[in-house]
């Protein structure tokens, strides 16, 4: 699967997900809550994939996660941004600062995945991720579908459960608890 022409439909097929409408969000209200347009590919994936993890290590943040308002994008993750600011280890500006990092995903150990927002087309935003202690920061070229495809191919590595390392692309649907897929 080539990163250059990877779209959200390609990612869904690559990970063996049957696309169907799982969620519907008021994107106008969600985007107003953060003052930014979100990438169309993210909006498609957020609505057309079930709650679950890519490669068993990364799940999408969705509006309304963790029982927050579905029209407020950040919800719980606004507190995580405050934690990162307090740690003082982030080499990038954070949302709502201009060009600030905006979280879109969370890893198995609580790592966060961000877009590095700027004035360019949201589909071209770079991907930044860090460890759960906010000490180790990495940046990869976007867009989101290409990043997920690279994760599935094993081109991007970070800490996670051993089953994810070197395995074929897979998507693990969550049960009732997003942090314990077996529940």
| CA–CA gap between residue 41 and residue 11 (Å, rounded) | 10
Q: 8-168 is classed in which CATH architecture? A: 3-Layer(aba) Sandwich (3.40)
* Domain residue limits, the chain: 8-168
The burial class, CB within 10 Å (0-12 / 13-18 / 19+), for 92 is middle
Confidence tier at 44 by pLDDT (50, 70, 90):
very high
Report whether pLDDT(23) > 90.
yes
Give the SS3 label for residue 173: strand
Tokens of 98: 């201009």
> What is the pLDDT of the chain when averaged over all its residues?
87
Q: What is the arithmetic mean of pLDDT over 153-158?
A: 80
| CA–CA gap between residue 3 and residue 13 (Å, rounded) | 14
Q: What is the arithmetic mean of pLDDT over 158-181?
A: 65
Q: Tell me, what's the pLDDT at 159?
A: 61
| CA–CA gap between residue 163 and residue 170 (Å, rounded) | 10
pTM of the model: 0.88
DSSP state of 94: B
Dump pLDDT digits (tens) for 79-135: 999 999 999 999 999 999 999 999 999 998 889 999 999 878 999 999 999 988 888
- Give the count of alpha carbons within 13 A of 65, CB side only: 23
> Measured in Å, how far apart are the chain's first and last C-alpha atoms?
32
């Amino acid at each position: 699967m080539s990163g250059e022409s990877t779209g959200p439909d390609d990612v869904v097929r690559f990970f063996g997900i049957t696309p169907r409408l799982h969620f519907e969000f008021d994107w106008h209200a969600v985007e107003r809550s953060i003052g930014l347009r979100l990438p169309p590919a993210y909006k498609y994936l957020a609505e057309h994939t079930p709650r679950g993890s890519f490669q068993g290590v990364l799940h999408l943040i969705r509006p309304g996660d963790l029982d927050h308002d579905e029209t407020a994008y950040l919800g719980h993750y606004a507190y995580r941004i405050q934690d990162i600011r307090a740690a003082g280890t982030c080499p990038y500006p954070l949302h709502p600062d201009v060009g600030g990092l905006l979280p879109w995903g969370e890893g198995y150990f609580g790592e966060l995945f961000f877009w590095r927002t700027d004035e360019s087309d949201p589909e071209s935003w770079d991907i930044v991720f860090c460890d759960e202690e906010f000490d180790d920061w990495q940046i990869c070229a976007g867009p989101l579908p290409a990043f997920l495809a690279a994760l599935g191919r094993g081109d991007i590595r970070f800490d996670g459960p051993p089953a994810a390392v070197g395995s074929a692309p897979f998507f693990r649907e969550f049960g009732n608890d997003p942090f314990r897929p077996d529940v």
